[in-house]
Structure 1
Amino acid sequence: MIAPSHRIPRTLVLGEVLVDAICEHPVARFEEVDGFVPHLGGAKANVSVVVARHGGRAALAGVVGADPWGRWLRRRLAVEGVDLDWLLSVDGVATPVAFVTTDADAEPSYAFHGAGLTPGFGALAAVIEPAVDGCDALFLGTSMQVERDHREVARTARARALERGMPVVFDPNLRLDLWADPADAIAVAREGVPGAFLVKANRGELRMLTGEDDPIAGARALLGAGAANVVVTLGPDGALLVADGVERTVPGVAARAVNATGAGDTIAGVLLARLARDGWATATLAGALPEAVAAAARSTESWGAVS
């Protein structure tokens, strides 16, 4: 039985929320697109929704425009049960839109409209410490840290959470195309590892952070850099958990994939929900990982990341 929501610890999810405008059939080239369908999007918005759907509590800290798309996103998130206390609607900001196409292998490509993924994100500086103080755990990544003032918001949140002894979950979510210098992205990502209860990364991110091709060796390198637990997502092959004295591989689940956009976000959301409900422990991660992998596989069978 799921406890009443007010008794479940709340996770602050810090980052991007945007509209995913998706072409709902595979195309080889962008020029073949014949239309787009709007979906709720943004990695952190996706994670927040998954947390709420799996019996957890998530508060999304981010920025949308005080425009029709911003209002549309707020309504969608509210319907899903995501707390919006620190989702700011800012005048003069255009809510970002990602135009998404997928290929025959369900792999997405993006064309962004607007000023990056997190326009106006610096406005959170005025509320970020109360936001952290009002929650019980923190989830963040690098995609909101491209601009210097945005980076300071994330650093303040992380420092505040660690100072208060709160669990921090870090997902590098490395989008090198957003950065003028990819080396800056990797350096910022490495900052997020020390003190993290959990680092969740895919194979490519793990290689960029550690230089290791082998997932177990890369995960161990992140443990050596200060993470307590590491989950490596392996695409259709499942996921791997590595912690002190623990290695667990969960095989992938067969799926008729059309869009892999939200698979990693789904894994993160399921794990966050279970950790909040069942305790922040490696054993909780090990027990929840098969459910997370199965949910991620199901997520690829719909066009929207959290449809």
Structure 2
Amino acid sequence: MKICSFGETLIDFTPVGVSENGNIIFERNPGGAPANLAAAAVKHGVEACFVGEVGDDIFGQFLQEKLRNQGVDTEYMIVNSRYKTTLAFVQLDEKGERSFCFYRNPGADTMIESQAVNLRAIDECDLFHYGSVSMTHNPARITTFELVKYAQQKGKILSFDPNLRMPLWNSEEEARHEIRHGLQFCDILKVAEDELIFLTGCETLEEGARQLAKKYKTPLILITEGEKGSHALIHGYYINAPTFPVSVVDTTGAGDGFLGCFLASFLKSGKTLEQLNGDDVYQMLRLANASGALSVTRKGGMPSLVTTEEAQALLDSQSES
């Protein structure tokens, strides 16, 4: 059981306090949703490789080292000496919700070309995961869709997380167009509440999910709604799964932890998407909710990811109370 996660890895500079001079202190953390997802999947018991491009600089070296330390296969990562590794400065509000300021014009992740990618990374995997951040600029956009189509031809399960970062797009119209193009290929779609509204304009999450499922024939749609839990649409059934009350410190990476846990649980089940039933999906959502909930109690993206045992312990404690 192996996931191949394609896209960006970057440095998240996360606020960790204030200096004696009253200035914000930032900590260097490994980040990027596809990289976070690969690390989360490993923590939940499946193999994962990451395919992406970094600069030949201290940040690119740091990211490779951190991914390897997480148990992620970095054999297929690409180092480009012509461009710098992308940086993102994270701002947190009083509720722990984050916003980003990117330094990426261009970043090495946007310059990845398909001929530089070793397709063995896809050949060896069971599931290919992609996002929309790699779709914001060429040549990465072209590369993304070429790899997606290759994975589809090879019969791989395709997972897509739009992970909308509006500051990286030229316009809302461009973002919708490219993300909707990405929706044409995926078997599993994970969207946050605001992303679903952005793509469909629907007033309710269920209505939006059903609209996407009908238009794109997506077998499984997952929706995260923060403290309200998560939802899924499979075989026409709409499922709600509550989350867990926690003290929020930093929401960075929570969705990646959620999805990495869910995908790992799905692969470990040994079932196909057609064989999954509502109870299967509900149990996977609950564990994924626990994984996401615990991650928001810690700072950083990748450093906040938890193991199956930690998530299960939270799930069990709630079941007993």
Which of 246, 250, 253 is matched with 1:262 structurally? 253
The CA distance in 1 between the partners of 2:13 and 2:67, in whole Å, is 17
Structure 1 length-normalised TM: 0.91
- Which segment drifts farther, 121-130 or 52-61? 121-130
> Once the two structures are superposed, what CA deviation does each residue of 1:147-184 show, in whole Å capped at 9, x if it has no partner?
13211111111111111221101111111211112211
TM superposition shift of 1:88: 0.8
> Once the two structures are superposed, what CA deviation does each residue of 1:6-64 show, in whole Å capped at 9, x if it has no partner?
xxx211101110111111259xxxx9742111111111111111001110111101011
Aligned CA distance change for structure 1 residues 141 and 177 (closer, same or farther; 3 Å): same
2:42/2:71 contact within 8 Å kept: yes
2:111/2:138 contact within 8 Å kept: no
The CA distance in 2 between the partners of 1:40 and 1:57, in whole Å, is 19
What's the counterpart of residue 243 of structure 2?
Answer: 252
What's the counterpart of residue 18 of structure 1?
Answer: 10
Aligned-residue sequence identity (percent) comes to 28
- Paired amino acid for 1:229: L
1:20/1:97 contact within 8 Å kept: yes
1:118/1:144 contact within 8 Å kept: no
Aligned CA distance change for structure 1 residues 128 and 215 (closer, same or farther; 3 Å): farther
Aligned CA distance change for structure 1 residues 214 and 77 (closer, same or farther; 3 Å): same
Aligned CA distance change for structure 1 residues 33 and 214 (closer, same or farther; 3 Å): farther
Which of 203, 217, 227 is matched with 2:207 structurally? 217
Aligned CA distance change for structure 1 residues 137 and 242 (closer, same or farther; 3 Å): same
Aligned CA distance change for structure 1 residues 116 and 133 (closer, same or farther; 3 Å): same
1:125-136 equivalences in 2 (<5 Å)? 125-127=115-117, 129-136=119-126
1:239/1:249 contact within 8 Å kept: yes
The CA distance in 2 between the partners of 1:185 and 1:118, in whole Å, is 20
Gaps of 5+ in 2: 304-321
- Paired amino acid for 1:253: F
The CA distance in 2 between the partners of 1:19 and 1:219, in whole Å, is 32
Which of 293, 300, 305 is matched with 1:304 structurally? 300
**Residue correspondences, number:** 295
TM superposition shift of 1:244: 1.6
> Once the two structures are superposed, what CA deviation does each residue of 1:170-213 show, in whole Å capped at 9, x if it has no partner?
11111121111221111111112234221100111111212212
Gaps of 5+ in 1: 1-8
Aligned CA distance change for structure 1 residues 59 and 248 (closer, same or farther; 3 Å): same
The CA distance in 1 between the partners of 2:182 and 2:299, in whole Å, is 31
Structure 1 runs (4+) greater than 6 angstroms displaced: none
1:140-289 equivalences in 2 (<5 Å)? 140-224=130-214, 225-279=216-270, 280-281=272-273, 282-283=276-277, 284-289=280-285
What's the counterpart of residue 54 of structure 1?
Answer: 44
Q: RMSD across aligned C-alpha pairs, in angstroms?
A: 1.9
